[in-house]
């Protein structure tokens, strides 16, 4: 509508201009080369306009004729590019459908038509992967790393190839190079962290976690928790060889996560070796309030080497008293810790009173074993046998559980995915068939119980069996035959 209005206004202006010239007649005289030409002024203006139009038309025609070879070349180039992009699109669809032959065919056509298109290399790599030509795949990805535009993509492809072939060193180098290229690459950061934690390179893993937190790849709270786990693992690794560095790492971990039991335990043991018992006790009490654990109570009991059972019992009672200020003294963990210390000190009534709230219904195996020791020491052999029988079918004792897998030791890395996950102190998962299979053992155990032990130490039952998760493991981005502890692919069975 606006264009139509402008055209109408232009015609009105031209008409007004010619009308203005018609109202002012005149004669135009041209003398050139001894000749004289006379015409009206309006005719001269019209002739001038026609001459301008003719010159413009001839110039445009000349330009078209002059540039026709280039125009023909551009047309052929456009047709070639269009054919290349059509082949590229069809090749990507074929690769997604798993048609290796069609993908390779279209990749060859696209590479001839689109030499500088990065997607051509991606299609060629997918076609080679479908055909199983790993050498060709590796060559294509190496070629992609030479261009700044496709370097990150090529590094990811090389990383995947190295990971599938079991070359952990090469996979780590490619991931680290990609991470240095762009610190916000989530896949590179996750891969580097998995490989570092799998190799127990806790110091490097901590640095990677700090970078992830700064880059915003993980929430700050999660990053601090994982950093604390890495520092605690480093402290545990150095506890026997370098106590000063172990103490430093444990202190940093405790500062980030005061509820982390391994960090507090390492700190306390190192401080005890340095005769700083008061500081060690303070650390243990602080963590006990947040996360009651038998290891904390054990370290608290043996703060002063050489003390007798009564002194150790008093220190455990002091730990539980500290816990009651904010909680219930540690609940079941506190009751078990107190009962163990009381049994060692031969304070049978105190041990019985500590366990009394937890002996009804189905007490855990450790509670049953402690009650058997108490009854045995007080001369009731029948009750002791009864408690031992109940222990064999009782719910399993707590153990460290990481990603559904039970372990006797705390570990910061999931044995399933290789990622840094919380390792919880809890009862492992039990299958119903396992519970039913354990019931006949109770009768055999009662018949096989021999004479009571002479010592007053608590009985120790067989360690709970580790229960494997009854589900497929989460996909950690590693191949199915990849062995995280060794960093190699497991050989095929059969």
pLDDT tens digit string along 329-344? 568 999 999 999 999 9
If asked whether residues 158 and 81 sit together in one domain, one would say no
Cα 66 off chain centre by: 62
Res 435 pLDDT > 70? no
Res 478 pLDDT > 60? no
Res 16 pLDDT > 90? no
Q: Helix, strand or coil for residue 429?
A: coil
The rounded distance, in Å, linking the Cα atoms of 269 and 290 is 19
Give pLDDT tens digits for 292-320.
Answer: 999 999 999 999 988 899 999 999 999 98
If asked whether residues 41 and 96 sit together in one domain, one would say no
- Name the least confident of 5-9, 313-317, 376-380, 443-447: 443-447
If asked whether residues 47 and 138 sit together in one domain, one would say no
Q: How far apart are the first and last CA of the chain?
A: 80
Determine what percent of the chain is predicted with pLDDT higher than 90.
Answer: 34
If asked whether residues 395 and 429 sit together in one domain, one would say yes
Give pLDDT tens digits for 158-186.
Answer: 998 888 888 888 888 999 899 888 888 88
Cα 458 off chain centre by: 43
> Looking at residues 460-475, what average pLDDT do you find?
38
Res 473 pLDDT > 50? no
Range with the largest mean pLDDT of 8-22, 146-160, 364-378: 364-378
If asked whether residues 58 and 155 sit together in one domain, one would say no
The rounded distance, in Å, linking the Cα atoms of 75 and 78 is 5
Res 456 pLDDT > 50? no
Q: Helix, strand or coil for residue 395?
A: coil
147's CB contacts (< 8 A; 6+ apart) are: 118, 154
Give pLDDT tens digits for 215-248.
Answer: 888 899 999 999 999 999 999 999 999 999 999 9
Q: What is the pLDDT of residue 312?
A: 94
If asked whether residues 380 and 472 sit together in one domain, one would say yes
Q: What is the pLDDT of residue 440?
A: 47
34 domain-assigned:
yes
292 domain-assigned:
no
The count of other CB atoms within 10 Å of the CB of residue 357 is 11
Q: What is the pLDDT of residue 400?
A: 94
Q: What is the pLDDT of residue 330?
A: 66
If asked whether residues 127 and 153 sit together in one domain, one would say no
431 domain-assigned:
yes
Res 323 pLDDT > 60? no
Mean pLDDT of the chain: 81
392 domain-assigned:
yes
Q: Which two tokens stand for residue 58?
A: 């001839």
Higher-scoring residue by pLDDT: 154, 490? 154
CA 455 to each of CA 46, 316, 484: distance values in angstroms, whole numbers, following the listed order: 130, 21, 44
Any bridge partners for residue 426, and if so which? 399
Q: What is the pLDDT of residue 4?
A: 86
186's CB contacts (< 8 A; 6+ apart) are: 217
- Name the least confident of 60-64, 251-255, 442-446: 442-446
If asked whether residues 45 and 135 sit together in one domain, one would say no
246 domain-assigned:
no
The rounded distance, in Å, linking the Cα atoms of 274 and 62 is 98
The rounded distance, in Å, linking the Cα atoms of 77 and 84 is 10
Would you say 423 and 200 are in contact if contact means Cβ atoms under 8 Å apart? no
Q: What is the pLDDT of residue 353?
A: 92
Higher-scoring residue by pLDDT: 313, 109? 313
The rounded distance, in Å, linking the Cα atoms of 363 and 302 is 27
Res 95 pLDDT > 50? yes
- What is the domain count for the chain? 4
Higher-scoring residue by pLDDT: 44, 463? 44
Give pLDDT tens digits for 392-412.
Answer: 988 999 999 998 899 889 999
The count of other CB atoms within 10 Å of the CB of residue 404 is 18
If asked whether residues 182 and 137 sit together in one domain, one would say no
347's CB contacts (< 8 A; 6+ apart) are: 313
Q: What is the pLDDT of residue 7?
A: 84
If asked whether residues 104 and 176 sit together in one domain, one would say no
152 domain-assigned:
yes
179 domain-assigned:
yes
256 domain-assigned:
no
If asked whether residues 95 and 51 sit together in one domain, one would say no
361's CB contacts (< 8 A; 6+ apart) are: none
What's the predicted TM-score (pTM) here? 0.67
- Cα four-point dihedral sign 406, 410, 412, 415: negative
The rounded distance, in Å, linking the Cα atoms of 188 and 173 is 10
Q: What's the domain range around 52?
A: 27-66
Last residue of a domain, one of 94, 126, 144: 144
If asked whether residues 137 and 155 sit together in one domain, one would say no
Q: Which two tokens stand for residue 416?
A: 């399933």
Last residue of a domain, one of 66, 93, 127: 66
The rounded distance, in Å, linking the Cα atoms of 424 and 414 is 11
Determine what percent of the chain is predicted with pLDDT higher than 70.
Answer: 84
């Amino acid at each position: 509508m606006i264009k139509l209005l402008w055209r109408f206004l232009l015609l009105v202006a031209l008409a007004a201009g010619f009308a203005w010239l018609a109202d002012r007649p005149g004669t135009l005289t041209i003398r050139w080369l001894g000749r004289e030409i006379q015409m009206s002024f309006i005719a001269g203006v019209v002739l001038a306009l026609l001459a301008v139009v003719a010159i413009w038309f001839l110039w445009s025609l000349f330009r078209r004729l002059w540039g026709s070879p280039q125009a023909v070349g551009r047309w052929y180039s456009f047709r070639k590019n269009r054919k290349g992009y059509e082949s590229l699109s069809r090749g990507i669809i074929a690769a997604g459908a798993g048609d290796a032959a069609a993908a390779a065919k279209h990749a060859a056509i696209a590479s001839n038509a689109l030499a500088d298109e990065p997607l051509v290399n991606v299609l060629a790599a997918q076609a080679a992967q479908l055909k199983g030509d790993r050498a060709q795949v590796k060559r294509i990805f190496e070629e992609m790393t030479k261009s700044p535009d496709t370097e990150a993509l090529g590094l990811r492809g090389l990383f995947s190839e190295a990971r599938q072939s079991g070359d952990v060193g090469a996979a780590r180098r490619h991931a680290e190079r990609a991470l240095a290229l762009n610190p916000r690459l989530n896949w590179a950061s996750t891969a580097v962290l998995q490989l570092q934690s799998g190799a127990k390179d806790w110091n490097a893993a901590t640095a990677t976690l700090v970078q992830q937190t700064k880059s915003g790849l993980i929430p700050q709270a999660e990053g601090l928790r994982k950093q604390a786990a890495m520092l605690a693992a480093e402290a545990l690794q150095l506890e026997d060889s370098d106590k000063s560095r172990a103490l430093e790492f444990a202190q940093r971990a405790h500062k980030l996560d005061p509820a982390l039991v391994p960090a507090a335990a390492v700190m306390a043991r190192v401080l005890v070796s340095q005769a700083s018992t008061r500081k060690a006790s303070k650390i243990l009490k602080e963590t006990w309030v947040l996360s009651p654990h038998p290891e904390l109570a054990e370290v608290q009991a043996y703060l002063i080497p050489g003390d007798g059972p009564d002194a150790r019992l008093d220190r455990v009672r002091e730990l539980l008293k500290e816990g009651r200020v904010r909680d219930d003294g540690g609940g079941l963990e506190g009751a078990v810790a107190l009962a163990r210390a009381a049994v060692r000190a031969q304070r049978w009534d105190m041990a019985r009173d500590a366990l009394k709230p937890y002996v009804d219904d189905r007490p855990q195996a450790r509670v049953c074993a402690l009650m058997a020791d108490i009854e045995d020491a007080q001369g009731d052999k029948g009750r002791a046998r009864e408690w031992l029988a109940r222990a064999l079918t009782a719910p399993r004792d707590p153990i460290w559980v990481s990603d559904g897998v039970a372990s006797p030791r705390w570990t910061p890395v999931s044995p399933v995915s290789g990622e840094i996950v919380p390792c919880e102190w809890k009862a492992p998962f039990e299958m119903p068939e396992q519970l039913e299979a354990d019931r006949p053992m109770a009768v055999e155990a009662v018949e096989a119980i021999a004479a009571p032990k002479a010592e007053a130490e608590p009985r120790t039952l067989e360690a709970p069996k580790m229960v494997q998760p009854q589900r497929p493991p989460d996909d950690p981005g590693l191949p199915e035959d990849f062995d995280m502890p060794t960093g190699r692919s497991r050989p095929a069975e059969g």
